Structure 1
């Protein structure tokens, strides 16, 4: 389908990029197509690194996690990191039941075993780390404060199934960074799942629903909450080093009263319709303004 074949709408856009992040807070995988599940894109945040107490760890405290790069194969996810042999995770393989905590949610999970634990502990320089897999029989829901009548299950994502951003919003940020004498940054720092092109900067904040024309039918996503930004966008994904320019620049124009003045970039979205369909780069997106 083309944009011209979508229903009349205030905004006509396209999918520019798609990302999946198999291990929470490690590097993402850019895809040409991604299958949408009830919980978001297939394998997105399906694994998570935890400490000795079972609590999640992220680039906030261990920025070197950005250097762990996954590749998705047919039956496995392969993790690579500088100076390390590849770690192979069977997509359907786990070792033993455990529990894990992500933010305020303690949920059942599956431990991935001693080899994975040692791999992460060695690379990140922190003893006692474990790698866990989300238990698909667990029903962890996004906050009903934001999702309203929709029950939106998630795996180990911070809070919502899909994160939407736009190329125009990144272009605006990079223009401001360069005007201040800083280098531009890539979209990878913001860890979105779906990136739109054909909209103006920050338009994703103002859209009621995204109606995406894919081969199997229509997918409908509803943006529900602006995404407040922690320090992770300050981490250079190529080096694992941190510098303050990105958040400092965003703070000059992206304080959002909807989330108590938090500095936002991108919109968290829930799935209204279309779980099971596959989204592809180039798919047409129609949307109306939210009032």
Structure 2
């Protein structure tokens, strides 16, 4: 079974709800991959800002090099240090979770505010424990980043292929914002994974991921459409939730790479 499952793609999303960065390898940490969703945008009430209400965020493209993050949006660019943050903390919400975060700097917040057309701040979570998320399934609390719920999302290649067979207009797996894409034999078999190893890291499956309207955002055009949720709702609904991909946590830190075999 394990020979079938090989890491095909790895992605991080440094700033929550912005575009991804494709990686050949990544350092897995308790809160997620290094630099994955350690930053997010918040509004004047310290509430998170996402593609759900602002689909244009999908056209902000980050890159990381030499300790700096560069954001490109249309003809605009902005750069800031990965270590930059102000001293005073802010209590922000990531859905039901309280998170202690720090504004990166006023110049960066101003740049995003001008691009988006409303007042916002770019903030950073800087240490483990600044946000905790309770798993209702496991009755266990996890230290997490600024991701929606869990540190990692894994998707099998057959799951996206099976969906695309049903869609008139094909989509890429990036609609579902995975961290790890593996080759697989059967659609959605990742839902039933237990514990497994990739590279230096042991992972544990928590639960399949319930999806929201954000997967209907065409990231190249920033237009919310009806698909793929319309089609998924015909065959992937469990307890009123549309499931696609599965939420996992790491049990130790280490490097995983594209091409690594998944060991069960």
TMscore range, shorter length:
over 0.9
Kindly indicate whether the alpha-carbon contact (under 8 Å) linking 1:75 and 1:90 is maintained by their aligned counterparts in 2.
yes
Structure 2 partner of 1:168:
158
Q: Is 1:159 aligned to 2:149, yes or no?
A: yes
Q: Is 1:231 aligned to 2:210, yes or no?
A: no
Cα distance in 1 for residues equivalent to 2:125 and 2:151: 14
The secondary structure found in structure 2 opposite 1:245 is coil
Matches within 5 A, 1:65-144: 65-84=57-76, 86-97=77-88, 98-125=90-117, 127-136=118-127, 138-144=129-135
Cα distance in 2 for residues equivalent to 1:106 and 1:207: 30
Q: Is 1:20 aligned to 2:12, yes or no?
A: yes
Gap change, CA 1:148 and 1:15, over 3 Å in 2: farther
CA shift for structure 1 position 101 = 1.3
Structure 1 partner of 2:30:
38
CA shift for structure 1 position 96 = 3.7
CA shift for structure 1 position 240 = 1.0
Structure 2 partner of 1:245:
227
TM-score, normalised on structure 2? Answer: 0.94
Structure 1 partner of 2:242:
263
Gap change, CA 1:153 and 1:78, over 3 Å in 2: same
Structure 2: 5+ residue runs without aligned partners?
Answer: none
Cα distance in 2 for residues equivalent to 1:119 and 1:22: 17
How large is the Cα RMSD of the aligned pairs? 1.6
CA shift for structure 1 position 152 = 2.7
The secondary structure found in structure 1 opposite 2:249 is strand
Structure 1: 5+ residue runs without aligned partners?
Answer: 1-8
Cα distance in 2 for residues equivalent to 1:14 and 1:94: 38
The secondary structure found in structure 1 opposite 2:69 is strand
The secondary structure found in structure 1 opposite 2:111 is helix
Cα distance in 2 for residues equivalent to 1:80 and 1:141: 31
CA deviations on 1:68-120 (whole Å, 9 max, x unpaired) are 00011120111111132x11120111124222211112222110222211221
Kindly indicate whether the alpha-carbon contact (under 8 Å) linking 1:152 and 1:271 is maintained by their aligned counterparts in 2.
no
Kindly indicate whether the alpha-carbon contact (under 8 Å) linking 1:12 and 1:286 is maintained by their aligned counterparts in 2.
no
Which moved further from structure 2: 56-65 or 131-140?
A: 131-140
Gap change, CA 1:172 and 1:72, over 3 Å in 2: same
Cα distance in 2 for residues equivalent to 1:63 and 1:197: 29
Kindly indicate whether the alpha-carbon contact (under 8 Å) linking 2:128 and 2:143 is maintained by their aligned counterparts in 1.
no
Kindly indicate whether the alpha-carbon contact (under 8 Å) linking 2:69 and 2:80 is maintained by their aligned counterparts in 1.
yes
CA shift for structure 1 position 227 = 0.7
The secondary structure found in structure 1 opposite 2:5 is strand
Q: How many residues align?
A: 263
